[in-house]
Homo-oligomer: A and B are copies of this chain.
Amino acid sequence: MDLGTLIGIASGFILIAIGIISNGSILTFLDPASMMIVMGGTIAATLVAYPLPSVLESGKIVKKAFENKKSNSNSVIQNIIELANKARKEGLLALEEMSNDMDDEFLKKGIILIVDGTDPELVRNLLETELSFVEERHKVGQGLFETMGSFAPAFGMVGTLIGLINMLRKLDDPSTIGPAMAVALITTFYGSLLANLVFLPIANKLKVKSRNELLEKEIILEGLLSIQAGENPRIIEEKLKAFLSPAMRKPLNEGVEENA
């Protein structure tokens, strides 16, 4: 679990609920019709804006923001170094059996390409195209949530306009003005809250996670090419560690020492 995402959304809604209760009733703020306009409108507009499969996949994308794939750049580098040592001692072909234990599809694919004796330039080309495709797909996911984050407040305003126009049409009874306006404003409230507590933050979290995943894949790419070039495992390690922040490097050093 990505605790940040969970705690953030939960605590955000609890805070807002406390803010509401301290001066009124939570029931006032639960209005199914308003929710229908804001969420329904947002989803409708998103269906127009994005291909159906992408929209249907959004549930899966949201899940990604809640998952906490342990950032394993360190173990990735260790894997690469093990592969490099193996390749040094037993030749490139020995990597094939090792690849069966890996569960990273990208790493597997790269090893197979190397074992097949593919031209290094072509290996780089194929893996970089793969990489840019992953990036592209991630961007669609982020874009989906950013788009929802811009449509939600817009439909919040549309809902408020509907409420205001309906209210202004029949100003017979002044005592109804207040409650009618209150209801009208609820859609704007929903729109702002959804955009700023759910859609936009999730879009950002997806962006951060995407960057980490791409960084890992870049480490794999550089590592595999170095292995193919027959570089010294020590130099490979030095090279790949440059991708890590100093804070992340320490455990690696230890790990490698333990390994050595």
Contacts and interface: CB of A to CB of B under 8 A. Distances in A.
Contact of A45 (B22, B65, B201): B201
B51 A4 contact: yes
Nearest to A134: B245
A15 to B, nearest CB: 4
B4 A50 contact: yes
Nearest to A188: B161
A5 B47 contact: yes
B11 A44 contact: yes
A255 to B, nearest CB: 19
A48 B202 contact: yes
Contacts of A177: 171
Contact of A189 (B18, B161, B188): B161
Contact of A105 (B40, B193, B246): B246
Contacts of A3: 52
B41 A16 contact: yes
Contacts of A49: 8, 200-202, 204-205, 208
B196 A158 contact: yes
Interface string A3-42: 1110111011001101110111000110001001100110
Given A16-B37, A48-B205, A129-B242, 10 more contacts: A15-B44, A16-B158, A19-B37, A24-B165, A24-B170, A28-B166, A48-B197, A49-B201, A133-B244, A171-B178
Interface of A: 2-5, 7-9, 11-12, 15-16, 18-20, 22-24, 28-29, 33, 36-37, 40-41, 43-52, 54-55, 65, 105, 122, 125-126, 129-130, 133, 137, 140, 147, 151, 154-155, 157-159, 161-171, 175, 177-179, 181-182, 185-186, 188-189, 192-193, 195-198, 200-202, 204-205, 208, 235, 238-239, 242-246
13 contacts: A8-B44, A9-B48, A11-B44, A20-B166, A24-B166, A24-B169, A41-B196, A49-B202, A49-B205, A105-B246, A122-B239, A155-B196, A168-B182
